[in-house]
Amino acid sequence: MNSVNSRTLNDLMDIFDNNSKFYISSHVNPDGDSIGSMLGLGLGLIKKGKDVIFLKNDTMPKDYEFLPKFHLIQELDEPPTKIDVFIALDSSDPDRLGDNKSLLDISDITINIDHHVSNTNFGNLNLIYPDASATGEIVYEILKKMQIDIDMEIAENLYTAISTDTGGFKYSNVSGKTHKIISELMETGIETSQININLYENMSLERTRLFINALKEVNFYFENRVAIASVTQSMLENFHAKWEDTEGIVSFIRKIKDIEVAVLLKEIEVGEIKASLRSKSYVDVSNLCSKLGGGGHIRAAGCTIYSTIEEAEKTIIHNLKDKLR
């Protein structure tokens, strides 16, 4: 990752120095990078004597309840009439903020910190670095610029942010700098083995049953180079599962030999299908998802298709046919 632009960082430091209260938001369907980055940056600002509001805008996955200060993430009892500084983390566009999108209109300053190549630069100050493996990497550089003593609580959050967005450091977005940052986070004394158990070896029985059932019905295309799995509302009900329990299905499918693109289709409601795409070597799924109104990274992206789950599968296949070698 190229270092965060020093001029932009200086502008950010001026905003931090000249304001006392900050609202920080995760994105909808929050993941480890979103939550870990939000808590990591917010705890750093608190160390500087700032007042920080950690904004919840969706169901928070239980997977991350182990994170230090997770309980501080809250819904607003009453929306404020004015916000001095609003910080959006890991959100490529305002819609990713969910209900918190409305807070942009009452914010004097919006800071947009992200690593998605599809980011729309919607902030007054935009720190967008697609070469970063995770937003957590960018937050780490910000905290270093702030001269924050990164303690175990901040380190555990940033470790989680980076680990989850790199597939446990297996994806192509991992760089030498990623490992250097992780090394420095580990020097704080965090117990990475326990963090990894919480992240990767803690599946509930409900999630396990959903996982197994979804894998039974995978459809293969283009000489087994594309695999598509689906999760419907009825499947969730049958296994008493939640949407967060679909985490890991698409990444598991990508591990199959010869698979280049793995897809998970989720029936959020009748006529609304969320597609998560992962590629292994050469297909740019971000480009594909952008054409369908979504976005993301070259190897991991998503979009929403308003149709039946069967039609959504046909749409994905149609858009993939010219992208496979």
Q: Evaluate whether residue 98 is within a structural domain.
A: yes
Helix 176-186 to helix 152-165 angle, to the nearest 10 degrees? 150
List, for residues 239-289, the tens digit of each pLDDT value: 999 999 999 999 999 999 999 999 999 999 999 999 999 999 999 999 999
Give CA–CA dist 112/91, Å, rounded: 8
- 51 lies in the same domain as 100: yes
Q: Which domain holds residue 83?
A: 6-200
Q: What SS3 state is found at 83?
A: strand
| 165 and 211 share one domain | no
Q: Which of 2-16, 203-217, 245-259, 262-276 has the lowest mean pLDDT?
A: 2-16
The whole-number average pLDDT for the span 211-228 is 96
Mean pLDDT of 17-46: 96
**Is 32's pLDDT higher than 90?**
yes
The confidence score (pLDDT) of residue 159 equals 98
Instruction: Please indicate, yes or no, if residue 254 is contained in any of the structural domains.
Output: yes
Task: Please indicate, yes or no, whether residues 41 and 77 belong to a single structural domain of this protein.
Answer: yes
Pairing state between β 21-25 and 51-55: parallel
Q: Are 286 and 118 in contact (CB under 8 A)?
A: yes
Last residue of a domain, one of 200, 215, 238: 200
Query: Could you tell me if residue 213 is inside a domain?
Result: yes
Q: List Cβ<8 Å contacts ≥24 apart for 197-203.
A: 198/63, 198/66, 199/32, 199/63, 199/160, 199/163, 199/164, 199/168, 200/168, 202/63, 203/248
pLDDT for 295 equals 87
Share of the chain above pLDDT 70, in %: 99
> What is the pTM assigned to this prediction?
0.90
Given 200, 220, 255, the domain boundary residue is 200
Domain match, 43 and 94 both: yes
Helix or strand holding residue 182 (H, E): helix 176-186
Q: What pLDDT is attached to residue 6?
A: 76
Q: Average pLDDT, stretch 123-152?
A: 96
- What is the distance between the alpha carbons of residues 170 and 157, in angstroms, rounded to a whole number? 19
Tell me the one-letter amino acid at 176: G
- Number of separate domains in the chain: 2
Mean of all residue pLDDT scores within the chain: 94
How confident is the model over 40-91, as pLDDT tens digits? 999 999 999 999 999 998 889 999 999 999 999 998 888 899 999 999 999 9
Say which CATH number the domain at 216 has: 3.10.310.30
Would you state the pLDDT for residue 268? Answer: 94
With a cut of 50, say whether residue 238 has pLDDT above it: yes
The two beta strands, 83-89 and 107-114, are: parallel
* pLDDT value of position 117: 87
Q: Mean pLDDT across the stretch 286-297?
A: 91
- Whether residues 117 and 91 share a domain: the answer is yes
pLDDT at 3: 62
Q: What is the CATH number of the domain that holds 173?
A: 3.90.1640.10
d(CA 247, CA 236): 13
Residue that is written with structure tokens 């609003």 in the block: 86
Paired with 276 in beta bridges are 264, 302
In DSSP notation, 237-279 reads HHHT--GGGGTTHHHHHHTSTT-SEEEEEEEEETTEEEEEEEE
Model confidence band, residue 1 (pLDDT cutoffs 50, 70, 90): very low
Same domain, 65 and 194: yes
Question: What are the backbone dihedrals phi and psi of residue 248, each rounded to the nearest 5 degrees, phi first?
Answer: 100, -20
